[in-house]
Chain A
Amino acid sequence: MRRSSPFAWIALLAALAGLAFLLVPVVAVFADTGPGRLLDALGEPAAREALWLSLRTTTIAILVVIVVGTPAAYLIAGREFRGRALVLTAIELPLVMPPAVAGIALLAAFGPRGILGDAIEGAGVELVFQTAGVVVALVFVSAPFFLRSAISSFEAVDPRLLAAARTLGAGPFRAFATVALPSARGGLASGLALAWGRALGEFGATLLFAGSLQGVTRTAPLAIFADFSEPDGFVSALALSAVLILVSAALLLAVKLLGGERDLAGGGSR
């Protein structure tokens, strides 16, 4: 930009136009109606129940993702095996899968007529139309965000440190807990925030797989969709949207602060 070439000007213009395009809809959510009415709309039981349900289901889903995903990611990161690329691709597939496809796939697998439907029913578990079904959908769509980030941060742990820990007498679990986990924590945390953000915004898979009922399966995104067409629902749709935007922004900020940009930029491509 020292000598202002035409290209520099074009780039600046493109950057400003792009930024405005991305920001205007976000600002509009807050500016369309004004904060007072947005807050009023959040006081309504339907909106509160939707937010509370979103908070509960995403929290449970994220806990499942952490508890199962962390050791799984550690295992995959530390091993070379045949078909590793295939496993990594399978893990990342839900990342690019359209949510509606995820919903259909979950129904085909775990629905009453799905291939595992009888087994699940036999175990006395019910997912479709249940809050548990929402959690299943959220885990399915959000896990890849965590796994990707966790695998690449475990891969970045210096193997000599792990070897040193083992020489000093630490068992595999101790080496994992005292060496690998602390060194990978930035990547783990940013993967967590991204996964949470994705879970919070989940819509299509939830609607198709779990349905939509206030207090049971109607999470905030589904409530926004339902509100949109109600005669006076646009304001409450905006209010819920505003909350989701604020939470998403906080999660994204957390990713940045935790140094997750590195993972975002080049997670799986190393």
Chain B
Amino acid sequence: MKVRRIAAIGALVAIGALTVLPAGCGGGGDEGLVVLGASSLQGALTEYAASYRGADVKPSFAGSDRLAAQIRRGAHADLFAAADTAYPARLFAEGLVDRPRLFAANSLVVAVPAGSDVSSLADLAEPGVEIAIGDAAVPVGAYTRTVLGRLPAGERRAIMANVRSEEPDVGSVIAKVAQGAADAGFVYATDARAAGGAVKTIRVPARLQPDVAYAAAVVKRGDEAAARRFLDGMIDGEGAADLRRAGFLPPP
């Protein structure tokens, strides 16, 4: 019995060591370039990072608000690429990052499950349509509220009353739609495109469109030179090409 227990503990320790060691070793001398990216950038920046030769890039994705909060709490990062200009600007004002630079633009669309009857923005106001949007703090949620704010008050209230979930990032909004859990969700055009056949896209008219501009900033006390080179490529290089391929527009 005792031997078995010791063997079990040994096995667990071995598993723990195996999972921790590679990460630990990598972190020893050369930590790689830590790039914190907005959820919507996951596809494009993962591509860019994988093919990037200048450094061993470690991308990590979440809502821009969450990434900003992590940087504010002192998380180690070299580059912060947000889905808006407000979060990088705020960190810049706090002296945590260099001056932000615009690197892409996007637009907002409504995604509905493939085969859905919902076919226009007006349909979202119908009773019983279950809508997922981003939380107010995450850029996609803020943009969504801008769009809704430009609608007539009655329609806006009807749509807001249909909101069933305020998701932490755009990734979970599109997932809810693709799963058919939500009847509609406000996402970026690039997310709807990446979801492929699982969702159908409803355009948001130009007069309602928010200015969806993406800004990135080099984090102070990180590897600033390497981060700047990586960002250069996002503005005008391989990264920019990957962004265009994913459907992002050139920065305004």
Residues of A at the B interface (CB closer than 8 Å) are: 107, 111-113, 117, 128-129, 207-208, 211-214, 216-218, 225-226, 228-231, 233-234
Contact = CB atoms under 8 A, between A and B. Distances in A.
B137 A129 contact: no
Interface in B69-127: 69, 73, 113
Contacts of A216: 164
Interface in B118-166: 130, 132, 135, 137-138, 163-166
Interface of B: 63, 65-66, 68-69, 73, 113, 130, 132, 135, 137-138, 163-168, 172, 175-176, 179-182
A112 B180 contact: yes
B164 A211 contact: yes
Q: State the main secondary structure of chain B at its contact with A.
A: mixed
A66 to B, nearest CB: 29
Nearest to B73: A234
Given A107-B179, A211-B176, A228 B69 contact: yes
A228 B137 CA distance: 10
Contacts of A230: 65, 137
A107 B137 CA distance: 26
Contacts of A111: 179-181
- The 6 tightest CB contacts between A and B, nearest first, are A211-B165, A129-B164, A229-B65, A113-B180, A229-B66, A229-B69
A117 B130 CA distance: 16
A213 B181 contact: no
Contact of B130 (A129, A218, A229): A129
A107 B165 contact: no
A259 to B, nearest CB: 22
Nearest to B173: A211
Given A129-B181, A212-B166, A213-B163, 20 more contacts: A112-B180, A128-B182, A129-B164, A129-B165, A208-B175, A211-B132, A211-B166, A211-B181, A211-B182, A212-B165, A212-B168, A213-B165, A214-B166, A218-B166, A226-B137, A226-B168, A228-B66, A229-B66, A229-B138, A231-B137
